[in-house]
Chain A
Amino acid sequence: MSSLIQVLAKYRSLLLNGTEITLIISVITIVFGMIFGSLMALMKMCRIPPLRWFADVYVAFIRGTPVLVQIFLIFYGLPIMGIHIPAIVVGGNDISRIVSGSIALVINSTAYICEIVRAGIQSIDRGQREAAQALGMSDTRVLWAIILPQAMRNIIPALGNEFITVIKTSSQVSVIGIAELMYTANTIRGISFKPIEPLVIVALIYFLITFVVSLILSAVERRMRRSVR
Chain B
Amino acid sequence: MDKPVISIRGLRKSYGTVSVLKGIDLEIRKGEVVVIIGPSGSGKSTILRCMNAMEDMTDGDIFYEGQSLREMKKYADLRMHVGMVFQHFNLFPHMTVLENIMYAPVKVRKEPKAEVYERSIQLLRKVGLEEKKDVYPAMLSGGQQQRIAIARALCMKPDVMLFDEPTSALDPEMVGEVLEVMKNLAQSGMTMVIVTHEMRFAAEVADRVIFIDEGVILAEGTPDQILIHPENPRIRTFLKNKL
Q: List A residues at the B interface (Cβ < 8 Å).
A: 125, 127-128, 130-138, 141, 145-146, 149-150, 153, 228-229
Contacts of A131 in B (CB 8 A): 84, 86, 90-92, 149
User: Contact between B90 and A136 (Cβ–Cβ < 8 Å)?
Assistant: no
Known contacts A127-B88, A130-B54; A228 and B94 CB within 8 A of each other: yes
* CB of A212 to closest CB in B, whole Å: 28
Known contacts A134-B84, A136-B76, A136-B79; A128 and B90 CB within 8 A of each other: yes
Q: Does B189 contact A (CB under 8 A)?
A: no
Q: Does B125 contact A (CB under 8 A)?
A: no
Count of B residues near A, CB < 8 Å?
29
Contacts of B80 in A (CB 8 A): 135-136
Among A133, A136, A149, the residue within 8 A (CB) of B109 is A136
User: Contact between B94 and A150 (Cβ–Cβ < 8 Å)?
Assistant: yes
* CB of A139 to closest CB in B, whole Å: 10
Q: Does B97 contact A (CB under 8 A)?
A: no
User: Contact between B77 and A136 (Cβ–Cβ < 8 Å)?
Assistant: yes
Among A125, A136, A228, the residue within 8 A (CB) of B108 is A136
Among A130, A141, A153, the residue within 8 A (CB) of B90 is A130
User: Contact between A228 and B93 (Cβ–Cβ < 8 Å)?
Assistant: yes
Contacts of A146 in B (CB 8 A): 92
In whole angstroms, how far apart are the Cα atoms of A141 and B109 in the complex? Answer: 13
Which secondary structure characterizes the binding site on chain A? Answer: helix
Contacts of B79 in A (CB 8 A): 133-136
Q: Does B200 contact A (CB under 8 A)?
A: no
Q: Does B179 contact A (CB under 8 A)?
A: no
Given known contacts A141-B108, A228-B93, what 9 new A-B pairs fall within 8 Å (CB)? A127-B86, A131-B92, A131-B149, A134-B52, A134-B153, A135-B108, A136-B75, A136-B79, A229-B138
In whole angstroms, how far apart are the Cα atoms of A138 and B156 in the complex? Answer: 15
Contacts of A128 in B (CB 8 A): 90, 92
User: Contact between A145 and B109 (Cβ–Cβ < 8 Å)?
Assistant: no
* CB of A192 to closest CB in B, whole Å: 54
In whole angstroms, how far apart are the Cα atoms of A228 and B54 in the complex? Answer: 28
* CB of A34 to closest CB in B, whole Å: 20
Interface centre among B84, B86, B88, B90 (most CB of A within 10 A): B90
Q: Does B83 contact A (CB under 8 A)?
A: yes
In whole angstroms, how far apart are the Cα atoms of A149 and B136 in the complex? Answer: 15
User: Contact between B93 and A229 (Cβ–Cβ < 8 Å)?
Assistant: yes
Contacts of B84 in A (CB 8 A): 131, 134
In whole angstroms, how far apart are the Cα atoms of A57 and B52 in the complex? Answer: 37
In whole angstroms, how far apart are the Cα atoms of A128 and B137 in the complex? Answer: 13
Contacts of B139 in A (CB 8 A): 229
User: Contact between A134 and B93 (Cβ–Cβ < 8 Å)?
Assistant: no
Among B75, B94, B138, the residue within 8 A (CB) of A149 is B94
What are 30 A-to-B residue pairs whose CB atoms are below 8 Å?
A: A125-B90, A127-B86, A127-B90, A128-B92, A130-B86, A130-B90, A131-B86, A131-B91, A131-B149, A134-B52, A134-B54, A134-B83, A135-B79, A135-B80, A135-B104, A135-B108, A135-B153, A136-B75, A136-B77, A136-B104, A137-B107, A138-B76, A141-B107, A145-B103, A150-B92, A150-B93, A150-B94, A228-B94, A229-B93, A229-B138
Contacts of B104 in A (CB 8 A): 135-137
In whole angstroms, how far apart are the Cα atoms of A10 and B206 in the complex? Answer: 88
Contacts of A137 in B (CB 8 A): 76, 104, 107-108
Contacts of A135 in B (CB 8 A): 79-80, 103-104, 108, 152-153, 156
* Nearest opposing residue in chain A for B109, CB measure: A136
Contacts of A133 in B (CB 8 A): 54, 75, 79
Closest 8 CB pairs of A and B: A131-B90, A135-B104, A127-B90, A134-B84, A229-B138, A136-B80, A136-B76, A136-B79
In whole angstroms, how far apart are the Cα atoms of A96 and B22 in the complex? Answer: 66
In whole angstroms, how far apart are the Cα atoms of A6 and B63 in the complex? Answer: 84
Question: Contact mask B88-119 → A, CB, 8 Å, 1/0?
Answer: 10111110000000011001110000000000
* Nearest opposing residue in chain B for A132, CB measure: B92
Contacts of A138 in B (CB 8 A): 76
Contacts of B136 in A (CB 8 A): 229
